[in-house]
Amino acid sequence: MISPPPLPLGRSLLLAGCTGLLIGAGQAPMGVWPATVTGLALFTWLVAGRRPGSAFAHGVLVGLAMNALTVSWVSVLGAWVGVALVVFLSLWWGLLALVVSRLVRLRFWPLLVPAAWVAMEFASGRIPFGGFSWTRLGFTVIDQPMSGWLGFVGVTGASYLVALVANALLFALLDRRRRVRVLAGTVAIFVVGGLLNLAPHAEPETKMTIAVVQPNVNREEHGTASYARSVTNNALSETVFALAEARTNGGPAPDFVLWPENATDVDPIDDPVTRRMVEVAALLAEVPIFVGAVMNGPEPDTRQTSSLWWDPLDGPGDIYHKRDLVPFGEWIPFRDVLLPRLPILKQIGRQSVPGEGPGVVAAPIAENPHLLVGTIICFELAYDDTSYDAVRGGGEVIVSQSNTNTYGGTFQPAQQLVINRVRAMETGREIVVSTLNALTGLVDTRGRVHGLTQEFDAAHRIVEVPLRFNVSLPVRIGSAPAWAALAITLGALAYALLRREPGAGSIARNNSPQGQPHDQH
């Protein structure tokens, strides 16, 4: 057993900040996944053997650095929103550090610490207000061999494997006797993942053609009187360009046109001007339009973010309302209490009301009157069960509709594209990505992006998409692995707290020949 050398408080805190930056470097748009693996190993080493208060403090500092690097883009909603989110998320990291500092006492800590990472991601993705899990470890595997595991263990399993590799490498440094076996097992994770990437997908019998529209809208117009009209007018204009291309290139005609989230920022059913623009677009296309719309909610002064099927002859049809809303972005928790005390919250606008049920709509087209389209609306991508429900509910074609306008020029659009790629690989389904002004295209089942648009461009793409009916293992088992990781972590933590002495294979932290604990701060 090798004990880490002692570190003065200043260096220890500096290392904590560097550790957070390393862990965050694996997220988009950086994508330096070896840095994440290194940072995870340092995290365990840094908090091992510390007293509870010190472990928690070091974990919070790691979290502050990591979250400030990766998700501070939310500050476009207001600096206070960004600060509050980063600080709150970092508390989860402090709790994780506290748990890890106890788990490393146990013999099988290299297997238990990764379970704690999964448990933390699971809990922070639910608590409070629906949670926020935009930077999970599993999202860092997309451009490396471990991505092959996504179709078999999902993003939850991928998070476990990333943390397992990191802690196995740390264990190999600490235990010379078992170093070769541990390193061989680590290499096997990458090799098997690479081989799984070669597993063939069944060739679909039927395909369909979709015209995908990226309207583009000036970010500075957001929230002004002209924004609601300009975004829908841009969608109509770009639809005309898409139709012109489709009718002159000799390829198949589109089966429907896909508009992104918030392509109409006013209810297209109730507002006559907006309704007329959608009707004109559908009549020109001569096929349905799948409209991302902001609609009036069920109560006064409320709204819903929706996906609405619009037929050129029959008008509005089936509809899905977004289930997972952004707290303090789309709705205000404790609105009656907070709004009078924090007037800045008025910029959020009307309170959004979540929908219910899976994101699957009846989408009849001429060639397939029973077609079902599964949709995932923007922030919902971060939620496993919501994303999986688009497949479980019978969606034969999966689309992702997003409003990236608010976060243009930040890390958010690149991170969202990576999550789309992860979802495509774990579900074994192509995903048609439609955004307002950033990174529209088609993601295939290997996670590759085709026809990617540029940010702040009005653009369109004509894509051929297979109709699939497969349901992958991650979709079938859903959140069961995350619940299992949470149960294992809680059980192991209880056992570790009942033990007085570190077990074999644990990490010890000494700073003197007498073995007095280093951590006194």
Of 451, 469, 487, the last residue of a domain is 469
508: confidence class by pLDDT, cuts 50, 70, 90: low
Q: What is the mean pLDDT of residues 400-419?
A: 93
Confidence band (pLDDT; 50, 70, 90) for 334? confident
Report the mean per-residue pLDDT for the chain: 91
C-alpha dihedral (281, 286, 289, 293), degrees to nearest 10: 30
As a whole number, mean pLDDT of residues 411-415 equals: 96
How many structural domains compose the chain? 2
| Rg, the chain, Cα only | 25
Token reading at 179: 């170093």
Q: Are residues 152 and 35 in the same domain?
A: yes
Same-domain check for residues 124 and 220? no
65-75 pLDDT per residue, tens: 999 999 999 88
Residue 269 and residue 226 in one domain:
yes
> Domain check: are 459 and 481 in the same one?
no
* 19 within domain boundaries: yes
Which backbone phi and psi does 311 adopt, to 5 degrees? -90, 140
Whether 503 is in a domain gets the answer no
DSSP code, position 207:
E
CATH number at residue 234: 3.60.110.10
- Residue 505 reports pLDDT greater than 70: no
| Same structural domain, 92 and 169 | yes
In a domain, 481, yes or no: yes
Domain-embedded: residue 319: yes
Per-residue pLDDT tens over the stretch 129-139: 889 989 999 99
Confidence of residue 470 (pLDDT cuts 50, 70, 90): very high
Chain segment 79-104, per-residue pLDDT in tens:
888 898 999 999 999 999 999 999 99
Q: Within a domain: residue 514? A: no
- Are both 195 and 236 inside the same structural domain? no
Check residues 508 and 112 and name the one with the higher pLDDT: 112
Residues 214 and 240 in one domain: yes
Q: Is residue 60 part of a domain?
A: yes
**3 located within any domain:** no
Is 361 within the bounds of a domain?
Answer: yes
pTM metric for this prediction = 0.92
Q: Report whether 389 contacts 358 (CB < 8 A).
A: yes
Question: For residues 90-114, b (16+ Cβ closer than 10 Å) or e, as one string?
Answer: bebbbbbbbbbbbbbbbeebbbbbb
Q: What is the pLDDT of residues 368-409, one digit of tens each?
A: 999 999 999 999 999 999 999 999 999 999 999 999 888 888
254 and 379 belong to one structural domain: yes
In the chain, % of residues over pLDDT 90: 77
- 242 and 178, same structural domain? no
pLDDT class of 229 with cuts at 50, 70, 90: confident
- Same structural domain, 294 and 427: yes
402: DSSP letter: E
Residues 111, 241 within the same domain: no
Name the residue range of residue 114's domain: 9-199+476-498
For residue 140, the one-letter residue type is T
Residues 265 and 389 occupy one common structural domain: yes
Predicted local distance difference test score (pLDDT) of residue 511: 39
